Amino acid sequence: MIVLSGVKKRFNGKEALGRTDLTIEGERCLALVGPSGSGKSTILRLVLGLVSPDEGTITIGGDVLDARTAAAARLRMGYVIQDGGLFPHLDAEDNAVIVARQNGWSPERTKERLAKLIDLVGLSAEHLRRYPVELSGGERQRVGLMRALMLDPPILLFDEPLAALDPMIRVRLQEDLRRIFRDLKKTVLFVTHDLTEAAFVADEIALLHDGKLVQKGTLAELMAQPKDAFVTEFFQAQRLQMPAGDGAP
Amino acid sequence: MTGMHVVRSLAIALGLALALGAKGAAADVADPRGPAVTVGSKGFPESWILGAALTALVEETGGARAVHRKNLGGTEITYQALRAGSIDVYPEYTGTIAEVILKRRAKSPAEMRAALAEAGLAMSDPLGFNDGYALAVTESTAARASLHSLSDLKAHPEIRLGLTHEFLGRADGYPGLARHYGLAMREVRGVQHELAYEALARGQIDAMDIYTTDPQIEKLSLVLLRDDLGFFPRYDAVLLYRRDLATRAPAALEAMTRLVGRIDEKIMTRANAAVALKGVSAEEGAQELLGDALGESPRPVGSASGDGQGLAARVLRNVTRHLELVGISLLLAVLVGVPLGIWAARSRSVALLSLGGAGLLQTVPSLALLAFLIPLLGIGTAPALVALFVYGLLPIVQSTYTGLNSIPSALSEAADAIGLRPGTKLRRVALPMASPAILSGIKTSAVINVGTATLAALIGAEGLGNPILQGIALRDTGLILEGSVPAALLALVVQGAFSWLDNLLIPQGLRLSTRLP
């Protein structure tokens, strides 16, 4: 469980995140949705300990996150960004195992884990010897997912992972991600600006606007009882009919 | 794997350079007795001949070993080498001692001796000839403008002067001359002395400064303009030496001072002509000179720069020496420059300081830098290595800094976010990604240093600059080519070697990304 209580963050004098309370339940997937600059990536970076809050505290599994504990906390989180965030000079395998190697895993243990993950993310062994530039966008994202899952962390963080992919590949990856989240019982924070995607992969949606949490709930709840005009507007902009019909899981 | 590659290749390079360095150092201490007397000479044939003659005289005594550090360069560098103890003695001229070294604090010989003694130096009595300054014009220019004396120049401000930089800067050179004679010449340019003959012959300049024992006067049929108002001081040749020589090697000093009063202008000009015009070596010229001056001929002695070997052996030795200089200085520049670049990429103040500092050092002219280094490090390999290191530093610091800073911020943040420790991130992500930039910086340094290392010959560090400098001084195109052709080929080889290193060190994934659209 990840808990943000009273967290505030400013960058260069500009408010990136207003006072926010947010709880991500264990083994559940919460999607952070909102337009650019709404504060969703800031929440992700705060949880990773890449930036520290000006006010408030963040706890992960009950432990308070601070500069001292951030490094250890990151090893309990897998992180995936747009286009996989792969290092171009390393092949797929070296990208996937870089942290395991740093942490002194034996070659056998690494190999075993890798074999399991290849199947899980839907790649084959020959992909492992390819460099990022030799992989398709979807394949890169699957390697990024392997890297995030390598240490089998309880928490997964995604920052617009599928934004650069074409629709067909995107749909297949969404299906695979949803299956993986549920099968592996991970606690997931999933940043996207696409409501349909959020509704499909996540259990709940947190809608953000101008650095503030506007509403949190299932897609059905948000559609049935929009808290304010922005929620309605955002739904309409994404061409989702109000009130909600079906389609939402 | 690629990280290991880099480390392994650097280790190999380090080992190689250390082996080369050790070899160079071993050569310096090969003789267990060590050189007892080191004779220096300045950058022109007359000085080499006198230096070789002094070396031969010391060797002849049998009691002391003499080494000739030939062709050290101008007054400043040679004098600093004497002050620093890198050489014990060299032939100098009274006019130069009074004006350049003592800066006109002393006039009479007694005053000069006292001033030199304060610096731990002494000078001998005159060797006999005056090698003074004069201005020379071609016969046709002299006839056209009816020039006979320096006073005649006053009526011809259109006469174009091509003067050595030293002559232009000295109080007893052009500034004093112009004041003394009231000259207002329209075009006065600094030209390297040996190149000035060429410029004069081709009509690109009309007059040049020249020494009165210059063998080219006769060869080019030059007319010396008479110093009718008595401006130029006398340039009597003397020995300038360290005072401790009298106690350290009295026999050697005594042997050298046998030349006092024995060399007149005729003897000196003849020896100069033999070396500068007939292609005789300085050592052979010295034998002629000693025969003329002392009526005897000591056994011939080779110089430290080893004339008289075959061409291939000379080129090989110079190339090897050149590569040692470039290799060791480059390695030092990498060992300092890459960490400095890494540090600069992390701290803004370090970036400002190191890039600014290295940039500033880059602008110091190489001759000035060498002149600064001699009092600290003497002459020879050490100051040359330091100078080359200094010039090699900026491209490496700059490229490391730029390479690291141009890594996309999303990838840099991803490296932190997935839990890489700073050390792992640097080794496995940042440095490999910056490696193309870093290698290109190192390549730039290497190519610059192959060129700059030719100047190391000015301070006795030898290498391919030696034949180039001697060739310029002797107007011997063959000698110039003997140094410059291998130097140019070496630059090409270095370029090629780096393309190969690129393949070895730049991770394959990065090479693929630059090849694909």
Cβ distance B326 to B456 under 8 Å? no
Q: Which residue has the higher pLDDT, A64 or B366?
A: A64
Please tell me which residue of chain B has the smallest CA distance to A75: B419
C-alpha R_g of chain A: 18
Lowest mean pLDDT among A112-116, B148-152, B250-254, B467-471: B467-471
Q: How confident is the model over B346-358, as a mean pLDDT? A: 90
pLDDT tops 90 at residue B208: yes
Determine the pLDDT at residue A150.
95
Sequence-distant (≥ 6) Cβ neighbours of residue B216 within 8 angstroms: B197, B210, B222, B276, B277
pLDDT tops 80 at residue B513: no
Determine the pLDDT at residue B29.
41
Whether A216 maps to a domain, the answer reads yes
Touching check for A107 and chain B: CB below 8 Å?
no
- The chain-wide mean pLDDT, for chain A, equals 91
Please tell me which residue of chain B has the smallest CA distance to A46: B417
Q: How confident is the model over B431-452, as a mean pLDDT? A: 93
Determine the pLDDT at residue B6.
46
Q: How many domains does chain A have?
A: 1
pLDDT tops 90 at residue A155: yes
pLDDT tops 50 at residue A244: no
pLDDT tops 60 at residue B26: no
Cβ distance B64 to B455 under 8 Å? no
Please tell me which residue of chain B has the smallest CA distance to A45: B417
Phi, then psi, of A71 in degrees rounded to 5: -60, -45
Determine the pLDDT at residue B39.
95
pLDDT tops 90 at residue A8: yes
pLDDT tops 50 at residue B66: yes
Whether A246 maps to a domain, the answer reads no
Class of domain B2-24+310-515: mainly alpha
Determine the pLDDT at residue B201.
85
Asked whether the beta carbons of residue B418 and residue A87 sit closer than 8 angstroms, the reply is no
Class of domain B31-127+235-294: alpha beta
Reported confidence tier of residue B296, pLDDT bands at 50, 70, 90: low
Q: Residue A19: which of A47, A53, A49, A59 has the closest Cα?
A: A53
**Pairing state of beta strands B37-40 and A63-64?**
unpaired
Cβ-Cβ contacts under 8 Å, B415 against chain A: 87
ipTM of the complex: 0.88
Give the three-state DSSP class for B320: helix
> Which CATH number characterizes residue A61's domain?
3.40.50.300
Could you say which residues from 497 to 516 on chain B have a Cβ atom under 8 Å away from some Cβ of chain A?
507-510, 512-513, 516
- The tokens describing B135, both together, are 């201005």
Residue B257 has a CB neighbour count (10 Å cut-off) of: 16
Reported confidence tier of residue A43, pLDDT bands at 50, 70, 90: very high
Q: Residue B112: which of B89, B92, B133 has the closest Cα?
A: B92
pLDDT tops 90 at residue B64: no
- Domain chopping of chain B, boundaries: 2-24+310-515, 31-127+235-294, 133-224
Reported confidence tier of residue B299, pLDDT bands at 50, 70, 90: low
Domain extent for A226: 2-237
Determine the pLDDT at residue B303.
44
Asked whether the beta carbons of residue B418 and residue A79 sit closer than 8 angstroms, the reply is yes
pTM: 0.70
Determine the pLDDT at residue B23.
40
CA–CA separation, B139 vs B409, rounded Å? 72
Largest CA distance in chain B: 87
pLDDT tops 50 at residue A247: no
Which of A51, A80, A87 is most worth mutating to test chain B (most B CB atoms within 10 A of its CB)? A87
Write the pLDDT tens digit of every residue in B102-125: 887 777 889 999 999 999 999 999
**Measuring CA to CA, how many Å separate B13 from each of A178, B17, B232, B335, B386?**
52, 6, 55, 11, 19
Cβ distance B162 to B201 under 8 Å? no
Reported confidence tier of residue A248, pLDDT bands at 50, 70, 90: very low
Cβ-Cβ contacts under 8 Å, A99 against chain B: 418-420
Please tell me which residue of chain A has the smallest CA distance to B427: A102
Determine the pLDDT at residue B10.
46
Cβ-Cβ contacts under 8 Å, A78 against chain B: 418
Residue B68 has a CB neighbour count (10 Å cut-off) of: 31
Residue B407 has a CB neighbour count (10 Å cut-off) of: 18
Which of A11, A48, A89 is most worth mutating to test chain B (most B CB atoms within 10 A of its CB)? A89
Reported confidence tier of residue B76, pLDDT bands at 50, 70, 90: confident
Domains B2-24+310-515 and B133-224 share a fold: no
pLDDT tops 50 at residue B2: no
Whether A244 maps to a domain, the answer reads no
Whether A245 maps to a domain, the answer reads no
Lowest mean pLDDT among A48-52, A73-77, B11-15: B11-15
Asked whether the CA dihedral B475, B476, B479, B485 is positive or negative, the reply is positive
Please tell me which residue of chain A has the smallest CA distance to B511: A89
CA–CA separation, A18 vs A15, rounded Å? 7
- The tokens describing B138, both together, are 């071609």
Q: Which residue has the higher pLDDT, B405 or B6?
A: B405
- The tokens describing B490, both together, are 């070496």
Cβ-Cβ contacts under 8 Å, B410 against chain A: 81-82, 85
Q: What percent of chain B has pLDDT over 70?
A: 89
Reported confidence tier of residue B503, pLDDT bands at 50, 70, 90: confident
Closest approach of chain A CAs to the CA of B508, in angstroms? 7
pLDDT tops 90 at residue B177: yes
Q: Residue B218: which of B191, B190, B233, B197 has the closest Cα?
A: B197
Q: How confident is the model over A103-111, as a mean pLDDT? A: 95
pLDDT tops 70 at residue B16: no
Q: How confident is the model over B73-77, as a mean pLDDT? A: 84
Write the pLDDT tens digit of every residue in A126-138: 999 999 999 999 9
Which of B418, B425, B505 is most worth mutating to test chain A (most A CB atoms within 10 A of its CB)? B418
Determine the pLDDT at residue A65.
94
Q: How confident is the model over B475-479, as a mean pLDDT? A: 79
Q: How confident is the model over B366-384, as a mean pLDDT? A: 79
- The chain-wide mean pLDDT, for chain B, equals 85
Sequence-distant (≥ 6) Cβ neighbours of residue B221 within 8 angstroms: B138, B139
Peptide bond into A243 cis (omega under 30): yes
Of B410, B417, B516, the CB nearest to A74: B417
Determine the pLDDT at residue B15.
45
Q: Residue B356: which of B394, B316, B306 has the closest Cα?
A: B394
Write the pLDDT tens digit of every residue in A165-200: 888 889 999 999 999 999 999 999 999 989 999 999
Whether A99 maps to a domain, the answer reads yes
Q: Which residue has the higher pLDDT, B464 or B305?
A: B464
Q: Which of A25-34, B264-273, B376-385 has the highest mean pLDDT?
A: A25-34
Q: Which residue has the higher pLDDT, B259 or A245?
A: B259
**One CATH from 1.10.540.10, 3.60.15.10, 3.40.50.2000, 3.40.190.120 for B133-224:** 3.40.190.120
Determine the pLDDT at residue B508.
85
Cβ-Cβ contacts under 8 Å, A134 against chain B: 512
Whether A248 maps to a domain, the answer reads no
Cβ distance B252 to B36 under 8 Å? yes
Asked whether the beta carbons of residue A131 and residue B508 sit closer than 8 angstroms, the reply is yes
